[in-house]
Structure 1
Amino acid sequence: MSFALIFSGQGTQHAAMLPWLAEDEHVAGMRERLGVHDWRRSLEDPAWAANNANAQTLLTGLALAAWGQLAPMVPPPAAVAGYSVGELAAFSTAGVFDTATATALAPPRAAAMDKSAAQMPGGLLAINGLAESALAQLRADTGLAVAIRNGIESVVLGGPTEALEQAQRIAEGEGGQCTRLKVNVASHTPWMREAAERFAQALADLPFQSPRIPLFSNAGDRVRDAGAARAALAAQIAQTVRWDECMENIAARQVRCVLEIGPGQALTRMWNQRYPAIPARACDDFRSATAIASWLRTHSDD
């Protein structure tokens, strides 16, 4: 059985996500850390859902809970990667640190980013359908940075709020499809450089291990040892998420299928468009953990 796990980032969290997820110690711990009784009801409040600290803590806790409930039914994955904050769950799954460390890292990561955001309010704008030359001109006109690179004509730009609004008007006028993500910080751009430095300090004294499973980073290609893991996890806060390269690295492992853990199907759609011969599904597509395990066995058995 050969499959890859990819962990979603924030921006598409919703109250109906992971409908099959059972209450367990990881979910309970996440709720306690957030101070909420019903996380689904909390997500119905757009302001609460978009809050950086809430989103990062919730998504990390739920992703680890989901994989914890699936893992006993399937063998270890052949490759792992996480999209933005999804790296916390990915690094834990690969054995770099335990689940308690991953969930404990979400709040200081968010706090470091919020501190930088307070100095420069901003956000993220997903743009699809513009040619590379048009995107380059758009960046030159607005001063925005590429926060996430999903493909040649699919990027997420980050920067100040006014510049994002200007970019959306221009891009839509040129036929681009735009979506403002449910985040309030310019993640993965130079505006987060101080946040990356603060998070690096938080990581400095934590015990990291070399990955036990092939692990691919947003900022540093394959992560092979503890030092590279520590550097990559901090660096991606202020550097472009090179998700296109993560997908290429996973495909090179010759996996037979891919499973997305997290909210929505955004990573699944990107994968299936790029690698239609290697099927991908999202956990949000299923109604039970047993059904997910069955799909993995059907599509990844040699």
Structure 2
Amino acid sequence: MKVAFTFPGQGSQAVGMGKELADAFPEAKAVFQEVDDALDQKLSDVMWNGPEAELTLTANAQPALMAVSLAAIRVLQARGVDLAEKVSFVAGHSLGEYSALAAAGSLNIGTAARLLRIRGNAMQSAVPVGQGAMAALLGLDFETACEIDKEAAQGEVCEVANDNAPGQVVVSGHLAAIQRAVEIAKARGARRAVMLPVSAPFHCSLMAPAADAMASALSNADIKAPVVPLVANVLAQPISDPGEIRRRLVEQVTGTVRWRESVTWLAENGVDTFFEIGSGKVLTGMVKRIAKDAKGIAVNSAQDIDAVLETFGAGAVAAQ
């Protein structure tokens, strides 16, 4: 068995996430307190009690999702799961890269939370509300989506933001260009082409102001070499050098999340078990579409923790 830990991105948030872990495990509760302290905000209260609209705000959703992922990681570590021994690679979808790096010891949790708060605010403010948009093109491959982008742009920005899985590509850019892309995709035989309910056009060149903000924030951040390599979104290749990690996290703000290629690379390099650590199971579903022979397991409850321990032969340990 060769294992990768993957970490979800925005869209996987839900009111109540992480509450079961906090109630069951003191290590998890301590992580949520650590994030609250780092942000000087009772973010855990928003996570567990809502309102949903407040949790969904980009500046809240990003550190909140990281907190759930790291709560699960701390519980696993306390029960003998050493990433350096048990895990070959980490990878995260968009903001999930920060969770992956924190899990692998490259960032401490407080630093990751503060960086994600800056990132969320910067991405939200990079484009005035109503000027940008994103859309999912389902049933078309990456190459076709790129052709549609070029046709739809007409002098505006229209770019592939997420290459998530075979037949699942997300485009991002100016509102009118994305609307044109949806219509062109339908004409090109897309199974579905739908506008997404997002607050900004993430992962396209319109995010350049946010990339500048992250370059400044990351230049001052303490980043160590991770104990296992990170398969970077913008490369679909593993990296470990702190300087390169900084550069790729900046590039990631405007660049394509190459998730399909990342999972393909991991599978081709022997990974047969993907644990999705954190809220939801979006990445687990993608793994099943990308690497059909691999096993995908979502880990976000006490029962899931026991399943991981059993997989590693550590034996289930009852929650305290």
Alignment TM-score > 0.5, same fold: yes
Q: How many residues align?
A: 296
1:125–1:29 distance in 2 versus 1, CA, 3 Å? farther
Name which of structure 1's ranges 201-210 and 129-138 shifts more when overlaid on structure 2: 129-138
Asked if the contact 1:50/1:182 (under 8 Å) is kept, the reply is no
**Residue in structure 2 matched with residue 163 of structure 1 by the alignment:** 177
**Residue in structure 1 matched with residue 206 of structure 2 by the alignment:** 191
Match of 1:102 among 108, 112, 131: 112
CA displacement at 1:263 relative to structure 2? 2.8
Pair 1:69-2:75 in alignment: yes
**Residue in structure 1 matched with residue 230 of structure 2 by the alignment:** 215
Pair 1:117-2:117 in alignment: no
**Residue in structure 1 matched with residue 14 of structure 2 by the alignment:** 14
Distance in 2, matches of 1:188 and 1:164, equals: 13
**Residue in structure 1 matched with residue 2 of structure 2 by the alignment:** 2
Paired AA for residue 9 in structure 1: G
Contiguous gaps of at least 5 residues in structure 2: 24-28, 315-320
Paired AA for residue 192 in structure 2: Q
1:134–1:206 distance in 2 versus 1, CA, 3 Å? closer
CA displacement at 1:179 relative to structure 2? 5.2
Deviations for 1:193-225, whole angstroms, at most 9, x for unmatched residues?
A: 121122111111222222221211112432131
Deviations for 1:125-155, whole angstroms, at most 9, x for unmatched residues?
A: 2222024564244323432210111245321
CA displacement at 1:55 relative to structure 2? 0.9
Distance in 2, matches of 1:7 and 1:179, equals: 25
Match of 1:280 among 293, 296, 300: 296
Q: TM-score, normalised by structure 2?
A: 0.82
Q: TM-score, normalised by structure 1?
A: 0.86
Pair 1:224-2:267 in alignment: no
What is the RMSD of the two structures over their aligned residues, measured on CA atoms? 2.6
Q: Percent identity?
A: 28
| Secondary structure of 1:4's aligned partner | strand
| Secondary structure of 1:145's aligned partner | strand
Distance in 2, matches of 1:145 and 1:282, equals: 30
Contiguous gaps of at least 5 residues in structure 1: none
Match of 2:149 among 104, 119, 139: 139
| Secondary structure of 1:249's aligned partner | helix
Distance in 2, matches of 1:139 and 1:127, equals: 11
1:273–1:18 distance in 2 versus 1, CA, 3 Å? farther
CA displacement at 1:119 relative to structure 2? 7.3
1:121–1:21 distance in 2 versus 1, CA, 3 Å? farther
